[in-house]
Amino acid sequence: MTDIIKIAVMGAAGRMGRMLVAEIIARDECILSGASDVENSPYLGEDAGILAGCCNIDIKLTADSAHIIAKSDVIIDFTTPKSTIAHAKLAAQAGAAHIIGTTGLNNDDEEMLNIAARHITIVYAPNFSIGVTVLMELTKRLAATLDEDWDIEILEMHHRNKVDAPSGTALALGKAAATGRKTDHDSKRQSTRDGNTGARKAGDIGYATLRGGDVVGEHSVIFASDAERIELSHKATGRQIFSRGAVRAAIWAKTQSHGIYNMADVLGLND
């Protein structure tokens, strides 16, 4: 019989943290081994299962991340860059795989992940949706097929409270397109158009951002040429797609060798 995988959730009191806890409870392959939150959280000491809207599972939220990481096979982390890097160091010491959905990590942070990945398995992705992962792969392949006669534009929409733009997923789609086209994303990125901008430059990767309502996330990659257009789109109607994908990644990571992977690896798209 396959061993049950012990998974801890960092930031378990947050919206995504609660969904992760609920997803782990619902799965047969894994159990919740611990749940953490920040030191000043009002939820410390509360049962993680009850917070997630499930049942009492006798796992209390704690600020002692080191303790729960040490007794886990895998940790899932949708927190902040500072916390994620601290967790990566603890996971490397404990030998626990690390699933990272945190956004906003800078180059120095990512270098720290590379160091940690010498000792553990890390799955680091801007979006854990299975559908978005497939969209990224299709974007890369289509960009590799079509030349610069095809303009690339990325349109995204999120809820009114989202504070960053373009979204991390939109940027990841743009980088996938740049990879497919074998060009440098940052030099081709065009995020702002206002006033008399002049004609579009060949090879640019353009971004447009919409904000409003309670939209979970919508992304479209548009390839436009003379007299024809190809559009690839994904629409998320519930955030459980992210928790479902992250737990799938956690189960997959348990049996992988050390290194940094992404969701395309989890789905076998990089094989």
Specify whether 162 is catalytic: yes
Bridge-based pairing state of the strands 189-190 and 205-211? parallel
Which of 67, 119, 162, 185 is labelled catalytic?
162
Q: How many helices (H) and strands (E) does the chain have?
A: 10, 12
Which of 98, 158, 188, 219 is labelled catalytic?
158
Output the CA angle 34-70-259, nearest 5 degrees: 105
Q: Could you tell me which of 111, 70, 62, 106 has the C-alpha nearest to residue 87?
A: 70
- DSSP letters for 106-123: -HHHHHHHHHHTTTSEEE
Output the CA angle 220-100-212, nearest 5 degrees: 35
Phi, psi of 12 (to 5 degrees): -70, -15
Bridge-based pairing state of the strands 121-124 and 151-158? unpaired
Catalytic residues: 158, 162
